[in-house]
């Protein structure tokens, strides 16, 4: 089951405790069946606190998805810091990617990795 989580909730230090209390009240519910969807903007306020809350929830078995990636201040460096299992790319970012001139410029770029 996917559940959208608002930035206000994710940035609350009590969020993981409250989630755990909910699972304790309903022991028949398997936390690994829950995927919490967050927007990338949900973690912009305090990334370290958000990562802490995400990790606390992940220790319960809950997974996280980053929803609508590509609509905000997306960066690969930012992605490296977020412990999410799924990245949901916004439809507008990829829709007609091969039809619009500005999208073709993205698709035509090559990525070179440094030789280590």
Q: Report the SS3 class of residue 4.
A: strand
Q: What is the CATH number of the domain that holds 75?
A: 3.20.20.450
109 pLDDT above the threshold of 50: no
Predicted pLDDT of residue 58: 96
pTM: 0.74
63 pLDDT above the threshold of 90: yes
Residue 61 falls inside a structural domain: yes
User: Higher model confidence: residue 21 or residue 67?
Assistant: 21
The total number of structural domains that make up the chain: 1
Q: What would the mean pLDDT of 70-76 be, rounded to a whole number?
A: 65
Residue 100 falls inside a structural domain: no
Q: What would the mean pLDDT of 53-60 be, rounded to a whole number?
A: 95
Domain carrying residue 20: 2-92
Residue 112 falls inside a structural domain: no
97 pLDDT above the threshold of 60: no
Read out DSSP for 103-115?
HHHHHT----PPP
Q: What would the mean pLDDT of 55-64 be, rounded to a whole number?
A: 96
């Amino acid at each position: 089951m996917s559940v959208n989580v608002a930035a206000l909730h994710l940035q609350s230090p009590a969020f993981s405790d409250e989630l755990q209390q909910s699972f304790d009240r309903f022991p028949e519910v398997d936390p690994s069946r829950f995927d919490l969807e967050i927007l990338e903007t949900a973690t912009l306020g305090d990334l370290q606190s958000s990562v802490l809350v995400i990790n606390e929830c992940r220790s319960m078995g809950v997974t996280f998805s980053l929803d609508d990636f590509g609509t905000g201040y997306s960066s690969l460096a930012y992605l490296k810091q977020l412990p999410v299992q799924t990245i949901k790319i916004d439809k507008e970012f990829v829709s007609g990617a091969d039809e619009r001139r500005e999208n073709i410029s993205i698709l035509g770029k090559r990525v070179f990795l440094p030789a280590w």
